[in-house]
Amino acid sequence: MRKAVEVSVDAMIEDLRTLVETESPSRDPDALAASGAAVAAVIERRLGGRAVLVASEAGPHVHWSGGGDPRVLILGHHDTVFPLGTLERRPFRVRDGRATGPGVFDMLGGLVQAVHGLAALDDLSGVEILVTADEEVGSRSSRALIEERALACGAVLVFEGAADGGALKTGRKGCGTFQVFVTGRASHAGLEPEAGVNALIEAAHQVLDIAALGRPGIGTTVTPTVASAGTLDNVVPAEATVVVDVRVESADEKERVEAAFAALAPRLDGARIEVTGSVGRPPMPGAASAGLFALAERLLPGIEGRAVGGGSDGNFTAALGVPTLDGLGAVGGGAHADHEYLVIDAMEERANLAAGLVDAIRNA
């Protein structure tokens, strides 16, 4: 479909180092302000024009436009899950064909590859870039902006890290978090335990009921992940909390699970239950990526597509009916872990894929 563009791996590594060494933990406004400025500076240096910092309660989102009628949105995020100080313990390094450091795979490497792929094009009209500050914590402040620009552009390329082996992400589960708050009544565990209402026992009943909501055969997982209860070893606990991770493949399952959480009822007399949360990211069906994946296959024969369990901002754009292809970012692994890494040898190919897809979409 097109000739390969010329990109410099050394220059990509230079920009990747800049972004990784500007730590960007979610919910840290000062760190995210610095990170947003660093992302904007890289975009402006490589692409020209002006990258606008869009203020939000979560931190600045970065928006850039190549001008003209919008045709394709490059989507990513600059926040990471790693707290300040991680860089000191795990500095940016390039060794044995890999780059390591907090955020190299999820997803700073993908941002760098996208920018350098675009920089090799003669014309950037119709291209927009949106890099948000709160993807790792639910995208509450950025969702409306993401959806607005996705609808305006009509096609979305998400530069989250690739699936295993470099596969693109052609489908994603919907995902969300629920919190179940149990209120009982405290009493002395030795003198009069019968006078209390044991919130921990009530929570145990609820955990079993909640776990039973899963339907792994159709892709629905309902997993209690965090629980807390009690204050002292001789006090009947008056409060307990259970946190639950939910993943679904269909809108019908999203509705079923949300209704089931809303219908949870206490088992013990005198206990009360409050539930918050939802499946905040809707499923991204394979149909949303089919056309764009076909273009990717023509550009890079043999590339695979895979549905995955994790969510991204591509879930939001796909739910609007906007064609969306995900996993276009770094080839590597270890997202959210200390062994996170990026494969250097794949950077040039992925930058070329970014450039090729943008050209193909604009010429379609």
Element (H, E) at 11: helix 9-20
Go through 262-271 and write b for each residue having 16 or more CB atoms within 10 A of its CB, e for each that does not.
eebebeeeeb
3-state DSSP helix/strand/coil % of the chain, to nearest 5: 40, 25, 35
346-358 residue pLDDT tens: 999 999 999 999 9
pTM of the model: 0.92
Question: What pLDDT does 6 receive?
Answer: 85
Question: What pLDDT does 2 receive?
Answer: 56
In angstroms, rounded to a whole number, what is the distance separating the alpha carbons of residues 48 and 358? 17
CA dihedral for 294, 116, 50, 144, sign (positive or negative) = positive
Please give the single-letter amino acid code of residue 217: G
Per-residue pLDDT 10s for the chain (364 aa) are: 456 778 999 999 999 999 999 999 999 999 999 999 999 999 999 999 999 999 999 999 999 999 999 999 999 999 999 999 999 999 999 999 999 999 999 999 999 999 999 999 999 999 999 999 999 999 999 999 999 999 999 999 999 999 999 999 999 999 999 999 999 999 999 999 999 999 999 999 999 999 999 999 999 999 999 999 999 999 999 999 999 999 999 999 999 999 999 999 999 999 999 999 999 999 999 999 999 999 999 999 999 999 999 899 999 999 999 999 999 999 999 999 999 999 999 999 999 999 999 999 998 8
Question: What pLDDT does 1 receive?
Answer: 46
In angstroms, rounded to a whole number, what is the distance separating the alpha carbons of residues 23 and 28? 10
User: Do residues 36 and 108 make contact, with C-beta atoms less than 8 angstroms apart?
Assistant: no
Edge to edge, the sheet with strand 72-77 lists 52-54, 61-65, 127-132, 72-77, 156-158, 324-325
Question: What pLDDT does 364 receive?
Answer: 84
Burial group, residue 364, by CB count within 10 angstroms (0-12, 13-18, 19+): exposed
Phi, psi of 4 (to 5 degrees): -65, 145
What spatial distance separates the first Cα and last Cα of the chain, rounded to whole Å? 12
Question: What pLDDT does 145 receive?
Answer: 98
Question: What pLDDT does 3 receive?
Answer: 60
